[in-house]
Amino acid sequence: MKRIYMDHGATTPMREEVLEAMLPYLKEIHGNPSSFHSFGREARKGMDEAREKVARALGASSPEEIYFTSSGTESDNLAVKGIARALSSRGNHIITSSIEHHAVLDTVKHLGEEGFEVTFLPVDEYGMVDPKDLEAALTDRTILASIMMANNEVGTIQPVEEMARICHEKEVYFHTDAVQAIGHLPVNLEKQPFDLLSLSAHKFYGPKGIGALYVRKGTKIKQILFGGGQERKLRPSTENIPAIVGLGRAIELAVENIPEKSAALTALRDRLFKGLQEEIEDIRVNGHPTQRLPGNVNISVAYVEGESILLSLDLKGIAISSGSACTSGALDPSHVLMAMGLDHQTAHGSLRFSLGKENSEEEVDYVIESLKEIVERLRKMSSVYKK
């Protein structure tokens, strides 16, 4: 059976070029970059080059602003908690949004339990944070605001530049989780005034288990893991050289021709949206109509539950995800959809298609047709179907 992968928001296949770049470091170049000898130096060279690539791809002013971590999750934890630890004597208020990834959301909640004051900004029906809400939430105790660049579930792109400027007027640090944005939205830190930015390689055709945190020069931040002196003491542990090299290559490729790639993916996305809306009754588009990630399609299918759709699609070789609690082992459906004001039934029936560079129009058409059939079948046995 031919399989169709439309779950790039969960993870992406690694590009061949990336594996090729990594292979020497998985084989002969095996040294520890902290080592003094030639084996160490050749490993360090690979790492230094990768750091330069990441800095260049982001428009950072220096490779020293890039810190490698083990993932997007760790980058987010380090950004939020690292700033909180460094600035706790200056203030104890942290602002974030109610639709952040759990890596930010739960870190902020944890700091709340530890005694920090925390504010979770609401979003509108499209999943958009209002910069005015951020402005109103700032106090003279605020030390950090963390708002994601683009949401992983509904794809909504946030006005992060504007929010960063608002924060800077009050001398508050601004962190953005760009995990879903890299390779889709142009990032240029020369112009975009973020103090911290998180990314994760496996979301842009790079290796798993490697991320980075950009920290603007001069930003006060403390380590959250303790150990050796790696990453200028901000993130100890023997560096994961093969993955670091892979991240470097992946981001270099990811930021090439973003306008062209985004246009192509947007066209595919809109074909999927249009087809679904034409073929299936009673579906709702979740997220913003235009301010959304090029590859993101999120809909709610009325009267049916998400997992049963996923299961049926999987039987046809189609891989997508849903905001249903049943697919995540959680008790409640997606906190993002709930924050956008969806009712439980609509949230449980939500589906996310996240398109990637291997997807084709034929695949999109096959998915539309398959979903139509599945929804009809499931509605026939639904206890809440209204017709």
Partner 1 sequence: MYNEIVMDHFQNPRNIGEMTEPSGVGEVGNMKCGDIMKIFIKVEDGVIEDINFLTFGCGAAIASSSVLTEMVKGKTLEEALAITNKQVADELGGLPEAKMHCSNLAADALHKAIEDYRQKQTA
Ligand X SMILES: Cc1ncc(COP(=O)(O)O)c(C=O)c1O
Give the range of 66-74, 122-130, 275-283, 365-373 binding ligand X by CB under 6 A.
66-74
Q: Considering the complex, what minimum distance in angstroms separates the CB of residue 283 from partner 1?
A: 16
How many angstroms separate the first and last alpha carbons of the chain? 34
Residue 170 binding: pick among partner 1, ligand X, a second copy, none (C-beta 5-8 Å cut-off by kind):
none
Is residue 152 at the binding interface for ligand X, with CB under 6 A as the rule? yes
Site string for partner 1, 346-375 (x = CB under 8 A): --x---------------------------
Task: Report the distance separating Cα 304 and Cα 380, nearest Å.
Answer: 10
Which residue in 67, 116, 173, 177 binds ligand X (CB under 6 A)?
177
Q: Cβ distance 66 to 60 under 8 Å? A: yes
Of positions 35, 61, 188, 237, contacts ligand X by CB under 6 A: 237
Nearer to partner 1, 41 or 141 (CB): 41
Q: Does 346 bind a second copy (CB under 8 A)?
A: no
Total residues interacting with ligand X, rule: CB under 6 A: 16
Specify the residue for token string 């112009």.
Answer: 191
Binding status of residue 223 toward ligand X by CB under 6 A: no
Could you say whether residue 76 binds ligand X (CB under 6 A)?
yes
Q: Return the structure tokens found at 239.
A: 């560096």
- Please identify which residue in 80, 83, 103, 378 interacts with ligand X, judged by CB under 6 A: 103
Angle between helices 16-26 and 241-254 (to 10 degrees): 160
**Triad 315, 8, 237: Cα angle to 5°:** 120
Concatenating the DSSP letter of every residue in 238-307 gives: ---HHHHHHHHHHHHHHTTTHHHHHHHHHHHHHHHHHHHHHHSSSEEE-S-SSSB-TTEEEEEETTS-HH
Q: In this chain, which of 160, 179, 268, 347 binds ligand X, going by CB under 6 A? A: 179
CB-side neighbour CA atoms (13 Å) of 370: 21
Consecutive H or E run containing 291: none
Query: Of the candidates 283, 304, 318, 351, which one interacts with partner 1 according to CB under 8 A?
Result: 304
- Among residues 163 and 302, whose Cβ is nearest to partner 1? 302
Residue 152 binds which entry of ligand X, partner 1, a second copy, none, with Cβ cut-offs from 5 to 8 Å by kind?
Answer: ligand X
Tokens of 255: 């930021």
Q: Identify which range of 51-59, 100-108, 126-134, 307-315 contacts partner 1 by CB under 8 A.
A: 307-315
Query: In terms of Cα–Cα distance, which of 349, 264, 333 is closest to 301?
Result: 349
- Give the one entry of a second copy, ligand X, partner 1, none that residue 31 binds, where binding means its C-beta sits below a cut-off of 5 to 8 angstroms depending on kind: a second copy
Residue 303 as a binder of partner 1 (CB under 8 A): the answer is yes
DSSP 325: G
Give 11's contacts (C-beta < 8 A, 6+ positions apart).
202, 203, 208
Interface with ligand X, residue 72, by CB under 6 A:
yes
The residue range among 12-20, 90-98, 167-175, 254-262 that interacts with a second copy, by the rule CB under 8 A, is 12-20
Q: Smallest gap, in angstroms, from Cβ of residue 61 to ligand X?
A: 24
Sign of CA dihedral 144, 147, 148, 149: negative
- List active site positions: 326
Judged by beta carbon, residue 243 or residue 304, the one nearer ligand X is 243
Q: For the chain, give the longest Cα–Cα distance.
A: 74
Q: How far is the CB of 196 from ligand X (least distance, A)?
A: 13
Q: Is 360 exposed, middle or buried (0-12, 13-18, 19+ CB in 10 A)?
A: exposed
Bridge partners of 96?
120, 146
- Pick what 290 binds: ligand X, a second copy, partner 1, none; C-beta below 5 to 8 Å, kind-dependent: none
Q: Least distance in Å: CB of 230 to partner 1?
A: 15
Q: Which one of partner 1, ligand X, a second copy, none interacts with residue 361, CB within 5 to 8 A by kind?
A: none
382 contacts partner 1 (rule: CB under 8 A): yes
If one asks whether residue 311 binds a second copy (CB under 8 A), the answer comes out as yes
Least Å from the CB of residue 344 to partner 1: 4
Q: How far apart are CA 105 and CA 324, in angstroms?
A: 19
Name which of residues 197 to 216 contact a second copy (CB under 8 A). Answer: 200, 202, 207-210
- Residue 43 sits in the site that holds partner 1 (CB under 8 A): no
What tokens appear for 237 in the block? Answer: 């542990």
Cβ neighbors of 223 (< 8 A, separation 6 or more) are: 78, 82, 233, 234, 235, 236
CA-based angle 221:225:226, to the nearest 5? 105
3-state secondary structure of 5: strand
Which residues does residue 321 pair with via DSSP β-bridges, in sequence order?
352
